[in-house]
Amino acid sequence: MKVNFEKKETLDFKSNEAYKTLRTNISFSGDDIRVIALTSSVPNEGKSVVAFNLANSLAEDGKKVLYIDADIRKSVTVVRYGVDVETKGLAHYLSGQAKLEQVIYETNIDNLSVIFTGQTAPNPSELLGNDRFKKMLEQEREEFDYIIIDCPPLGSVIDAAIVAKECDGAIIVIETDNVSYKIVQRVKKQLDQSGCRILGAVLNKVEMGGKGYYGKGYYGNYYGRYYGDYGNYGESKE
Q: Classify residue 122: in a domain, yes or no.
A: yes
- Domain that residue 56 falls in: 2-204
Q: Classify residue 153: in a domain, yes or no.
A: yes
Q: Classify residue 221: in a domain, yes or no.
A: no
Instruction: Report the pLDDT averaged over residues 90-110.
Output: 94
| Domain count along the chain | 1
pLDDT at 208: 64
Q: Classify residue 96: in a domain, yes or no.
A: yes
pLDDT at 175: 93
Please write the tens of the pLDDT for every residue from 119-153: 877 889 999 999 999 999 999 999 999 999 999 99
Residue 225 has pLDDT above 70, yes or no: no
Q: Classify residue 212: in a domain, yes or no.
A: no
pLDDT at 172: 97
* Angle between the N-to-C axes of helices 47-60 and 13-27, in degrees from 0 to 180, rounded to the nearest 10: 80
Beta carbons within 8 Å of 80's beta carbon, 6+ residues apart: 7, 48, 226, 233, 234
Q: Classify residue 209: in a domain, yes or no.
A: no
pLDDT at 216: 39
Q: Output the pTM of the full model.
A: 0.85
CATH code assigned at 72? 3.40.50.300
